[in-house]
Amino acid sequence: MCKECGCGGENHKENKKVVEALTKVLDANDRQAQENREHFEEYGVYAINLMSSPGAGKTSLIEATIEALGDSVKIGVIEGDLETDLDAQRVRSKGAPAVQINTGSACHLDAFMVHNGIHQLPLKDLDLVFIENVGNLVCPASYDVGAHLNVVLLSATEGADKPEKYPVMFRHADLLVITKIDLIPYVDFPIESAIRSARKIKPGIDVIALSCKTKEGLEDWLDYLRFKVRINKRALK
């Protein structure tokens, strides 16, 4: 699917040249990611990279967060999708600035794409930036985009064993958000098994379970964000 990260080729692992080229790409990406973090810090902005499979509710969580926090935390969004600016439009309709990045055939955002997005956001007016990555549980985990926190979403409509099936993504995450918990009575999603599966891969990972529809658990997420934004500002004083 994506030429750049090598996920589309069956023989890539055996191809030394491809591995070397990929290592160079990742080294350059890491340098740009560090520069992105410095940009955010210059303006006292806390940045969160949201990752999940398609349809887990990343955009819905961003919308619910903007609505709930209002002017108390000023939010900007960098939206990553293969095509369309539909998600950026959804975010803008909630009153927050949003930049859409279309990755074309690339199945992840990289630090260079995010850097372009950063320069189109009014960072001086913001406290928090969400980077909504392309819906994919594999490739985005390999690319540092320059965020301060990596969050992975897992919805109740997915398998509770996903953390063990996609270990790189869950190991890479600082926080697991279980979404759509209002659907748990109607689907086969043993939430305790999902948390156990995630903690097998990433011992001690924080977990927040919520529903953007009923708002159950949403306050835990908002408290978490308020805390992160507050200590980020203090650290920079």
Rounded CA-CA distance 97/145 in Å is: 19
In contact, 212 and 61? CB cutoff 8 Å: yes
Among 4, 63, 87, 127, binds Mg ion (CB under 5 A): 87
Rounded CA-CA distance 62/49 in Å is: 12
Helix 111-118 crosses helix 16-42 at what angle (to 10 degrees)? 30
Dihedral angle of Cα 213, 85, 53, 226, to the nearest 10 degrees = -50
- Residue 50 beta carbon to Mg ion: minimum distance, rounded to whole angstroms: 9
Using CB under 5 A, which of the segments 5-13, 23-31, 87-95, 214-222 binds Mg ion? 87-95
Choose between 73 and 131: whose C-beta lies nearer to Mg ion: 131
**If binding is defined by CB under 5 A, does position 142 make contact with Mg ion?**
no
Using CB under 5 A, which of the segments 57-65, 109-117, 195-203, 227-235 binds Mg ion? 57-65
Token pair, residue 37, equals 């973090």
- Residue 58 beta carbon to Mg ion: minimum distance, rounded to whole angstroms: 5
- Residue 60 beta carbon to Mg ion: minimum distance, rounded to whole angstroms: 8
Choose between 86 and 231: whose C-beta lies nearer to Mg ion: 86
Phi first, then psi, for residue 129 (nearest 5°) are -120, 125
CA 180 to chain centre: 17
**If binding is defined by CB under 5 A, does position 59 make contact with Mg ion?**
yes
Choose between 40 and 130: whose C-beta lies nearer to Mg ion: 130
Which residue from 226, 162, 237 is spatially nearest to 198, judged by alpha carbons? Answer: 162
Choose between 80 and 195: whose C-beta lies nearer to Mg ion: 80
CA 167 to chain centre: 16
Choose between 58 and 172: whose C-beta lies nearer to Mg ion: 58
- Residue 35 beta carbon to Mg ion: minimum distance, rounded to whole angstroms: 26
Q: Which residue is nearest to Mg ion (CB)?
A: 59
- Residue 62 beta carbon to Mg ion: minimum distance, rounded to whole angstroms: 8
Token pair, residue 201, equals 């891969």
- Residue 68 beta carbon to Mg ion: minimum distance, rounded to whole angstroms: 18
Choose between 59 and 197: whose C-beta lies nearer to Mg ion: 59
Q: Helices then strands (H, E): number in the chain?
A: 8, 7
**Residues in contact with Mg ion by the rule CB under 5 A:** 58-59, 87
